Amino acid sequence: MTRLDEAAFTSFHSNTSRALWAFVYRVIRSASDADDIAQEAFLRLLRAELDTSDEEASRRYLYRVASNLIVDRWRRQKRESGEELTMEPSTSDQQFQDEADVARIFSELTERDRALLWLAYVEGESHEEMASSLGVGRRSIKVMLFRARHRLRELLIARGMLVKS
């Protein structure tokens, strides 16, 4: 196992930190929590006994850790509040109203659905990569992604943003 030296970590961090933060933020809709989760994911990457010569494997490990931290955060908040969490994006600029509406609808999905859709359509991960990132079975990704797309479609139809065909 090779460890990341400072230069390799700096390069890896600069190549992945923005996308990781965006992934976490889109799932949990909290900038400060996204900062914390991304930082913790990188810290755990540094502490892990991984073969860091494979940058793609390190990236998948990073996303998997972040996904697990998101789930841990959700469980902790649910346990502490005893209520279902709703996360509303905040925007007051009319220019971005359509994006805010879509973001609001996206936030109504479960965290797992948001993570699946983000990894598939923003990060462009394969089913195998998504399974590794989320820590689920490779064969279940196709069904989970189908259901996430279906739930998003139903929400868009219900809000009049998509016409049922």
* 43 within a domain of the structure (yes/no): yes
User: What pLDDT does 34 receive?
Assistant: 93
Q: Is the pLDDT of residue 42 over 60?
A: yes
Would residue 83 count as lying in a domain?
A: yes
Quote the pTM value.
0.57
In a domain, 92, yes or no: yes
Q: Give me the pLDDT at residue 85, please.
A: 42
Q: How confident is the model at residue 96 (pLDDT cuts 50, 70, 90)?
A: very low
In a domain, 165, yes or no: no
pLDDT beyond 90 at 147: yes
Is the pLDDT assigned to residue 141 strictly greater than 90? yes
Above 90 in pLDDT, residue 114?
no
Distance CA 22, CA 39 (A): 13
Q: Tell me what pLDDT residue 93 has.
A: 41
Q: Residue 20: which pLDDT band, with cuts at 50, 70 and 90?
A: very high
Burial of residue 115 (CB within 10 Å: 0-12, 13-18, 19+) is buried
Nearest Cα neighbor of 15 from 64, 67, 50, 62 is 62
Assigned domain for 1 exists: no
Cβ contacts of 80 within 8 Å, gap of 6 or more: none
83 vs 43, more confident: 43
121-130: average pLDDT: 85
Q: How many domains does the chain have?
A: 1
User: What SS3 class is residue 48?
Assistant: coil
Q: What CATH number corresponds to the domain at position 110? A: 1.20.140.160
Select from 5, 6, 41 the least CA-distant residue to 20. 41
Give the range of the structural domain holding residue 146, as residue numbers without chain letter: 6-158
Which of the two residues, 130 and 99, has the higher pLDDT score? 130
Q: Quick one: which of 96, 144, 148, 112 has its CA closest to 104?
A: 96
Hey, what's the torsion of the CAs at 138, 139, 145, 146, to 10 degrees? 170
pLDDT band at 97 (very low <50, low <70, confident <90, very high): low
In a domain, 35, yes or no: yes
